Each structure stands twice: as structure tokens, then as C-alpha cells.
Structure 1
Amino acid sequence: MRTSGPDFPAIWQVLDGQVATGRLPGYVAAVRIRGEVAVRAGGRTAIEPGSAPMTADTQFRIASVTKPIGAALTLALIDDGVFGLDDPVTGWLPELADHRVLTAPDAPLSSTVPAVRAITVRDLLTMRSGWGVIFEPTPLQREMARRQVSPGPLTPPVTGDEFVARIGSLPAACQPGAGWLYDTSMDLLGVALERATGASLVRLVADRIAGPLGLTSTGFWAADPTRLATAYLPGPDGPTVLDPPDGVFAAEPAFRELSSGLVSTAPDLLRCFTALADGGVPILPAASVAAMTTDAITAQQRAQGVPILSAAQSWGLGTGVEIAAVEPWQAAGAWGWDGGTGTTVRVDPSRELVGVLLTQRGMAGPQDGFDTFWSAVAAAC
């Protein structure tokens, strides 16, 4: 750890270099190190000539960085007594009652057994409902894609009710609590929150997270699409547009995804994750933050999560947690998560660090480009 103040210029130099080489069209980063905060915007909101420069107010589709925010919302409702962590979710998601489970994740859809127990709120937060990402082209994954309920970077063209009905009519890949499968559990959880409270996720996020923290640019769509950066996917022939400013996130969605549905800014996210890093006030008690950021899955389940979970990572309640320092910038006890649209947030108590990087370059793989940023941040501490 440096004896002088944080070396923020060294972080910006790394990011500006990625803009100069064309790897990133632009970025906004916000970092707090030992109480000192710095925000930097570089590049442009799109690759087209004449595009607006990035500013601290530029909004991004934060993708799976939504998950820890959704987890904080869920734990706030648990603290209110709306439901318990180990309550079955079938009271709000009856479509999942008495569901069937495949005899093996790659089995034919007709080869099933009964679920041994009901799915709980904990199962959804820990990604152990039995549905989610399977990288092999199994019959279940093919059918989820056909029904337009497989995980992806953009909101599927269904309502929340339709999403749960389509998932519930399919067998799960594994028994509740038995296997770690990414993504789908959080979207099931989002519908459960709406039904349990009688309020939309738009209202719940506004009332329980954004309002108390003063997050003025965080929600499920961009009220002013001109503030939204164009999203791109990397490719061998250069980037292609995933979603333009007037695209999917320019209007209120029919399905509010708790897995990946939020737009936000770097200053908003820094404020949110700083509150959690500092004990949760005013949205959560410290005990709930501690539970959220504690390893909650088994070694076997971590192995199932590769390559989404790196060798240093495990999973808590709705967020990634670091259990080892495989790379020099990592630290056991750090936590946070990445979004497939090119976003990353991380809290490292050992360095008194909270960091946010938002880009519009989609990830080509786990830790795609973020290791360079986090290495620079660690060196600047």
C-alpha cells in the first residue's frame, strides 16, 4: 500500500491507453481509495464520427452488476419481514410448485424425477434453483432458447409472468440447492419480489435503493436516451452494435430483469457500493451486508461455475466473492461482480477500495479487460 495518496492518474493512463488503441470506445470510472474519490470519463459514447464525449453523467446498461443491487433489495425486504431467506418461493411463484428435475443436466426433457423439495429464496440468491446457463448445447438449453427465456445481454421479449410460466413448464437441470447455474434464478427472484410486495421492481428499486441513496440516474430504462452510450459486441472484424441509445433500454420494459436490467452511471454505482462497503446504511444493516458478501456455495458448485467464476471467486447472496488472491490485485474477502456489457464493480476491504468501471465494449470472456483495470487500481492504492 502506498504511503502517499492514491495514484489516480496511473489508473486513468491505463484506461486512456485502451481508448487510444481502439479497444474501448469510451469509459467512465469512479474509484474510492481510503476515503479519497475520483471520477474520470474518457473517449466517446459511440464509435461513429462526431459522437458525444463520455461524461460522468453518461448512462450504461450495467448488465449483471444489477445482481448485487437486486440482492441488496431482497435482503432489505427480508429485514422488513416480507419473507424469510429459507421460505419456499412457491407461495409467490406457484408455476414452480411440484416441478420436475432432469435425471442429468444433459438428459432428454422426458427423463425426469420429482424435485426433492421446494425452491427457497436462498436458492434463488445463490443461483441454485436448478435453471440457468449450461455451456453445452443440451436439450434443456435448446428449449430455453426456443422459448426465449435463456440468459442473454438484452431483456427477452416476454413479461415476467410469461417468463416464470415458461421456465416452470420445463424441468430443472438439477435439484434445488444442488448445482450452481448462473443468471435465471435472479429473474425468477425479481418476479417473486413483485408478487410478494404487490409493487413493481421499478418502484421497489426507487423506494428501497435509489431514493435513500440519492441515485438519480439508476433505473430499468433511460428516461433520456441521449445520455445512454451505444453498446457494442467485440468481434474479429471490429465491434458491432448490440443496442443503440434508442433501442431496448429507451423505454420501460415489459419484463424488469433483476439479473441484468438496470441502467446507471459510475457515480451512482460508486455511491451505492460505497454505502454497502461502509456497513449498508441507509438501505441494509451491517449483518445483512456481511451475509450477502460471504461465500455461500460448495467447492463442487464453484467448479460448476467455471468459467463464469474464476479460480479466485465463489458466490455469496447475489454477488461474487473472492476466496483467494490468485492474481496480485485480488484479495480474499473482496466482493463485487462484472456485467457482460463491459461493466465491473468491486469492493476490497483490505485496500479500503471501492471501484467502478463502465464501458460499452461487451465482454469476450470472463475478466475480459478488467484485470488490467483492477491491476492498475491495486497498484494505485
Structure 2
Amino acid sequence: MTVDEIGERLGAHVAAGELLGLAWLVAIGDDVTTGAIGHLDATRATPIRTDTIFRISSMTKPLTAAAASILIDDGVLDPADPVDRLLPELANPRVLAKPTAEVTDTVAANRPITVDDVLTFRLGWGMDFADFSPKPFDAAWSALGLGWGPPTPARMLPPDTWLRRLGTLPLQYQPGERWLYHVGASILGVLVARAAGKPLSEFLAERILRPLGMTDTGFSVPPGALARFGTHYADIDGARTVFDPVDGQWSTPPAFEGGGDGLVSTLADYHRFARMLREGGELDGIRVLSEHAVTTMTTNHLTAEQLARGGPGPGDSAGWGYGVGVQLRDQPDGPRAGAYGWAGGLGSTWSNDGAVTAILLTNETWSSAGPSPVFATFEQILGETARRRDPL
């Protein structure tokens, strides 16, 4: 598939007004091709470039999981250990008697929350992809100001305050019982910071970002780089509305460095991270993770029963490793079994499928119905490329 063919297929979505702009990367081994289509904002004055900085939201999760995996490699963390030692706020948890119960109707947890529970999103808190109906727990969560929905880094509580308030709530399910989305990554960011004895941003920079040369990835955009950072948009009642301006929530360092959704990055930076994983934890002679850690990150940990009750993909098509979704079956015109990666609700996606890496970054938030059609087109491009493995 040629560069022009990829650009034409993705560009049709921009031309149709589905989104203002995007940047893409498709790599087969060391053969890397990128493109940029559309504009940074609704004025259409500044084109998006391949070095544009984007809010990557949930594509933060794999980086936070990699940081925790480094600490496991170092012997600082053990997946089997309870988190109580570093997160005493979460000791002796109570559990809702049933998911729809009032928050005062609880039973004792069967066991403590472990590091592995947090990494695999089976700690007992999170979004249930199989049931979005409102419950008393949701109201209690919101009343405590713990943050729910699209990332809002400037409005989040400091991490110690956030965790202390979180610890006053019961778990929704017993530790290890269910896969529930997102909250585990937020907790994991705090766990990494406490285990490392420094802010999450510093540990990421020291052990992942600087070693890999990821110079444009962080929890905020420095003033000198704001020219490469655009406005982000959301569809509200059918109208394109500003979600975050250039000088908005990512223009200054946040109090809460969100391990689940807080980072910004570029095509080139994220490709460095993806290549490191694809090459077994080492890139350009620099080892970031052990091969065992990469295998553990990119292997499904969910049981068949857990997948049947609600996992990261439709039905039981995808499982969960450490911070990444893992494809369990070949998808027609899409990723193959064994592919792994993750997407962000602010309009981004990444996957490694064999020797093929694919990244798509946009400036439009997904709607409540899910990703916009351009993402299905990109998955088809990835699937076709992975099956053909033709040089671009």
C-alpha cells in the first residue's frame, strides 16, 4: 500500500468534515512512513504536521504500565504483593454487597488488592463496559471530585488527596473478580511515584522518555513547543466545540499526573516506545525493559469467565495485558491475533501487529458512540499492511 493510498483513504474523512485533522504513521520493521492531513484548529490557518503534539489520553496507560514493569524488573515491586505497603489508603477495603447497592451496603474484601490487580485492572474499581447504567456508587464518586470521563488534568486533586478520598469508597467488585476500565491506571501512576520515591513524570523521564529520545512526551507542553500544539475539539449536540484550547489544561504541569490519560506526545516519540516493545524491550542498544517484562505486558491475563462478563474488546475478542489490549482472534480486515496496543478517547490509537506498527493521532474527541469512522479505516489499513507486509 502506497503513501498516497493511505493519505487518500484517511484524507477522505477530513474532507467529509468528520474531523479537522490527523497525523499517521505506518512502519514495517525499519521502513517508516508518516503523513499529516488537515489543520490544527477550526480557523484552518495552520496545517497539522508530522511533528504536531497531540493529547494522547489513554495511550498514556501503556507507558505507565511500562514504568511499573521497570520497577518489577528492578525488584522494587512484586506483582503478587498487596499494595498496602505503598498505598495504605487502600488497606482493608470494603466491597459493595452488589454493584447496584448503596455505598453503605458493603461486605469485607476477600483479600487485599495486589500490584497485579492494579496492573490488570482487576482491583475492583472502574468503568464497567458491559453496564453503563447509573448507580449510587457513581454519584458518590462524583461527589468526592475524583474525576470521571474525559481527562481534565487541571481540575484533578493532588494525588495524595485523591487517593485518600478514593480509599473512603467501597470497591465495586471483589479484588481479582472483574476487569473494569481506567481507575487502575490512575492508581498505578501514584503507586509508581511512591515506589520510585519521585513524581511519575520524573521516573518516566529518567527510565523511558530520555533513554528512548522521546523529547516531546510529557504531562504538559512547554511554552516553546506550543506552536506545534493545537486546540482540541469535541462534538456537543452535533456542533464542533472547543474541548481544550492551546493555552488550556495541558499548557502547565498538573498537580495530578494522570497515569491513565495525562500525556501528550508525537508520532515520532510514540513510535520510539512502540519499537522498543516490538524489539523485546531494547532500542538502539539501550535496554528499557527485560524481554520477560515485555512478554508479560503484551500477554492476556484475563480468564474466559472475566472476558465473558466484559473485557476491553467486543465480546471476548480482546484481552488485557499490563496497560495494553491484546487481540485474541483475527479480525476481518483488521488486527490479527497477537496484536497489541491501545487507543485514547481524545482521538488516538496505536498498535503493534507483528512487524507492523501503526499510530493515528487526531484533534477530535470520540463521541459517546465510540470512535469516529476514520479509526475503522485505519484498522483496515493496518490489517491489510500486516497481512501483505509490502514495503511502503
Would you call these one fold, judging by a TM-score over 0.5? Answer: yes
**Structure 2 gap segments, 5+ residues each:** none
What residue identity is the alignment partner of 2:254?
Answer: P
Q: CA deviation at 1:236?
A: 4.4
Whether contact under 8 Å (1:181, 1:304) holds in the other structure is: no
Does the residue aligned with 2:174 lie in a helix, a strand or coil? coil
Q: CA deviation at 1:84?
A: 0.7
Does 2:97 align with 1:109? no
| Counterpart residue number, 2:139 | 142
Distance 2:370 2:79 in 1: 29
Runs of 4+ in 1 over 3 A off after TM superposition: 303-306, 365-368
Whether contact under 8 Å (1:132, 1:150) holds in the other structure is: no
**Cα–Cα, structure 1 residues 244 and 149, in superposed 2: closer, same or farther, change >3 Å?**
same
Q: Considering only aligned residues, what root-mean-square deviation do their CA atoms show, in Å?
A: 1.5
Does 2:334 align with 1:334? no
Does the residue aligned with 2:239 lie in a helix, a strand or coil? coil
Question: Which string of whole-angstrom CA distances, capped at 9 and with x for unpartnered residues, describes residues 144-169 of structure 1?
Answer: 12222143222242011111111110
Does 2:367 align with 1:368? no
Q: CA deviation at 1:207?
A: 0.6
What residue identity is the alignment partner of 2:313?
Answer: L
Distance 2:307 2:139 in 1: 24
| Counterpart residue number, 1:26 | 21
| Counterpart residue number, 2:308 | 303
**Cα–Cα, structure 1 residues 19 and 295, in superposed 2: closer, same or farther, change >3 Å?**
same
Distance 1:136 1:146 in 2: 17
Does the residue aligned with 1:68 lie in a helix, a strand or coil? helix
**Structure 1 gap segments, 5+ residues each:** 1-5
**Cα–Cα, structure 1 residues 194 and 232, in superposed 2: closer, same or farther, change >3 Å?**
same
Matches within 5 A, 1:148-227: 148-154=145-151, 155=153, 156-224=155-223, 225-227=226-228
Does the residue aligned with 2:351 lie in a helix, a strand or coil? strand
| Counterpart residue number, 2:94 | 100
Matches within 5 A, 1:1-381: 6-50=1-45, 52-134=46-128, 135-154=132-151, 155=153, 156-224=155-223, 225-281=226-282, 282-305=287-310, 308-311=312-315, 312-349=317-354, 352-364=355-367, 365-369=369-373, 370-380=375-385, 381=389
**Cα–Cα, structure 1 residues 49 and 371, in superposed 2: closer, same or farther, change >3 Å?**
closer
Does the residue aligned with 1:234 lie in a helix, a strand or coil? strand
What residue identity is the alignment partner of 1:257?
Answer: G
Indicate the larger mover: 320-329 or 182-191.
320-329
Whether contact under 8 Å (1:141, 1:150) holds in the other structure is: no
What residue identity is the alignment partner of 2:192?
Answer: L
Distance 1:235 1:325 in 2: 35
What residue identity is the alignment partner of 1:101?
Answer: V
What residue identity is the alignment partner of 1:165?
Answer: R
Whether contact under 8 Å (1:194, 1:200) holds in the other structure is: yes
> TM-score scaled to structure 1, two decimals?
0.94
What residue identity is the alignment partner of 2:157?
Answer: V
Q: CA deviation at 1:49?
A: 4.1
Q: CA deviation at 1:327?
A: 2.7
Distance 1:238 1:268 in 2: 32
Q: CA deviation at 1:217?
A: 0.2
Does the residue aligned with 1:14 lie in a helix, a strand or coil? helix
Distance 1:326 1:272 in 2: 25
Q: CA deviation at 1:232?
A: 1.2
Distance 2:29 2:196 in 1: 38
Indicate the larger mover: 149-158 or 96-105.
149-158
Indicate the larger mover: 175-184 or 322-331.
322-331
Indicate the larger mover: 338-347 or 186-195.
186-195
Q: CA deviation at 1:96?
A: 0.5
Distance 1:338 1:98 in 2: 33
Percent of aligned pairs sharing the same letter:
38
**Cα–Cα, structure 1 residues 89 and 111, in superposed 2: closer, same or farther, change >3 Å?**
same
Indicate the larger mover: 359-368 or 134-143.
359-368
Distance 1:128 1:229 in 2: 35
Question: Which string of whole-angstrom CA distances, capped at 9 and with x for unpartnered residues, describes residues 79-114 of structure 1?
Answer: 011111111111111010011100111111111011
| Counterpart residue number, 1:3 | none
Q: CA deviation at 1:303?
A: 3.5
Does the residue aligned with 1:240 lie in a helix, a strand or coil? strand
Q: CA deviation at 1:173?
A: 0.2
Q: CA deviation at 1:326?
A: 3.2
